[in-house]
Amino acid sequence: MFKDLAYCRPTTVAEAIEALKRPGSRALAGGTDLVVRLREGREGVTMVVDLSGIRALGRIGVQGEEIFLGSMVTLRQIMDSALLRHEAPLLARAAAAVGSPRIRNRGTIGGNIMNASPAGDTLPALLALEASVILSGPGGERRLPLAELLAGPYRTRALPGEFLTEIRFPRLPAGHGSSFLKLGRRNALAVARINVAAVLQVTDKRIRVARLAAGAVTPVPRRFPEAEALLLGAAPGEEAFHAAAREVAAGMVREAGQRHPLADKIPVVEALVLRALREAGDGHIKPGSY
């Protein structure tokens, strides 16, 4: 099936850059997305560059006030990492929400990001964590906010030959609470897949930090600054949470249009955002809840 496809497995970032310079080459991480597409013959790929030989891409750690993880860290490793479960429980829960155990064992954070699916589960969590990505390519290394990388459904702003090496995000503020929730596709109910991530920090009974991101409700997963503005300075509770949830749904409709099929999902979006805010307002995601 793949008899005309060349394959290489570099062991350093520099070797991968050389290989990815060649026209028709494509990065291969866990292959859970790419192999399906190659089988369908849709990609015009002539060589796959398997990144699994580059050990540096598998690290998870802390540097100063930042958490970093290599692009080849698997979703399973994220779920199992004591550091990430403690520092970024919403990301651990998002990783746990992806596909099946087999997909999570092979699928990587880098693949989930670079696939740039509107419904990619780690994306809202990473946006709420204010994550940045490190890209390496023929022009050197550059860092950009994740929100800037995402150009549209299944499209990124990576330049030709560039690949994702690392993801970094600042530690969450002291006393924060967070949440990630996903509504899976259930054909009988015809409910679109929606995922929501929230981070709240409350001091002196006021919300001081509010970050809300959602996926699958807009062409690109994104933060909802108008909803966040309604939360900032407000007392944490039902009134503020309902107002913010309504604003996320309104933002979705503004972007997608009232006649878009998603407009029917307004109550579902509101309910999921509300639940996420309640959980984040309550403090940490409870251990064992993913």
Ligand X SMILES: Cc1cc2nc3c(=O)[nH]c(=O)nc-3n(C[C@H](O)[C@H](O)[C@H](O)COP(=O)(O)OP(=O)(O)OC[C@H]3O[C@@H](n4cnc5c(N)ncnc54)[C@H](O)[C@@H]3O)c2cc1C
Contacts to ligand X by CB under 6 A: 26-34, 36, 51, 71, 98-99, 103, 106-108, 110-112, 114-115, 120-121, 163-164
CA 219/CA 119 separation, integer angstroms: 9
Tell me whether strands 6-8 and 163-170 are parallel, antiparallel or unpaired: unpaired
Q: Which residue is nearest to ligand X (CB)?
A: 111
In angstroms, give the least distance from the CB of 260 to ligand X.
22
Whichever of 34 and 198 has its CB closer to ligand X, that residue is: 34
Task: Give the rounded distance of the alpha carbon of 232 from its chain centre.
Answer: 24
Whichever of 34 and 196 has its CB closer to ligand X, that residue is: 34
- How many other C-beta atoms lie within 10 A of the C-beta of residue 229? 13
In angstroms, give the least distance from the CB of 75 to ligand X.
6
Give the residue among 20, 289, 41 at the shortest CA–CA distance from 162: 20
Residues 6+ apart with CB under 8 A from 172: 87, 88, 129, 178, 199, 201
CA 226/CA 253 separation, integer angstroms: 13
CA 66/CA 97 separation, integer angstroms: 24
Whichever of 106 and 265 has its CB closer to ligand X, that residue is: 106
Whichever of 161 and 251 has its CB closer to ligand X, that residue is: 161
DSSP code at position 219: S
Tell me whether strands 150-152 and 6-8 are parallel, antiparallel or unpaired: unpaired
Residues 6+ apart with CB under 8 A from 72: 29, 51, 52, 54, 57, 58, 108, 110
Is the Cα dihedral 264, 280, 114, 7 positive or negative?
Answer: negative
Residues 6+ apart with CB under 8 A from 249: 266, 269, 270, 273
In angstroms, give the least distance from the CB of 267 to ligand X.
23
Whichever of 27 and 197 has its CB closer to ligand X, that residue is: 27
In angstroms, give the least distance from the CB of 197 to ligand X.
13
In angstroms, give the least distance from the CB of 3 to ligand X.
20
Q: Which amino acid is at 243?
A: A
Residue 227 structure tokens:
């909803």
Whichever of 33 and 228 has its CB closer to ligand X, that residue is: 33
Whichever of 164 and 277 has its CB closer to ligand X, that residue is: 164
In angstroms, give the least distance from the CB of 154 to ligand X.
9
In angstroms, give the least distance from the CB of 271 to ligand X.
20
